[in-house]
Amino acid sequence: RKEVEQDPGPFNVPEGATVAFNCTYSNSASQSFFWYRQDCRKEPKLLMSVYSSGNEDGRFTAQLNRASQYISLLIRDSKLSDSATYLCVVKTAAGNKLTFGGGTRVLVKP
């Protein structure tokens, strides 16, 4: 079983619509959680950290459910520029390495 699992998609989203997707993690010692965005053949870029109480950054909302060991990302009012692969990332308290999910591909269409 992979440490971090994501639905690979693609999620085809009409412009202006809302899309949400989850990721599950298997290591209960995971302490820090992030969503990164990766555009085709480019480096990952931090989209947002995910906090226990849930957090929002503009059109993006992240939630963490420790009991069920999943993280979610919701994108409201989707823009064409939101088309990318979204990477779920976790880190344990014991180390500094990031563990990446395989990514969820989102395609926003006009």
Partner 1 sequence: NAGVMQNPRHLVRRRGQEARLRCSPMKGHSHVYWYRQLPEEGLKFMVYLQKENIIDESGMPKERFSAEFPKEGPSILRIQQVVRGDSAAYFCASSSLGLAGGQRDNEQFFGPGTRLTVL
Question: Is the CB of 49 or the CB of 65 nearer to partner 1?
Answer: 49
Nearest to 6 by CA among 20, 22, 28, 19: 22
CA distance 19 to 27: 26
CA angle (43 as vertex; 97, 81 as ends), nearest 5: 125
| 101 lines the binding site for partner 1 (CB under 8 A) | yes
Q: Which listed residue (32, 55, 69, 72) binds partner 1 by CB under 8 A?
A: 32
Which residues 36-55 are close enough to bind partner 1 by CB under 8 A?
Answer: 41-46, 49
Number of residues that bind partner 1 (CB under 8 A): 20
Nearest to 101 by CA among 38, 12, 41, 24: 24
**Eight-state DSSP code of residue 40:** T
Q: Which listed residue (24, 25, 100, 108) binds partner 1 by CB under 8 A?
A: 100
From residue 53 to residue 72, what is the string marking binding to partner 1 with x (rule CB under 8 A)?
Answer: --------------------
Q: Give least dist CB 18 to partner 1, A.
A: 25
- SS3 assignment, position 81: helix
Interface residues with partner 1 (CB under 8 A) are 4, 32, 41-46, 49, 87, 91, 95-103
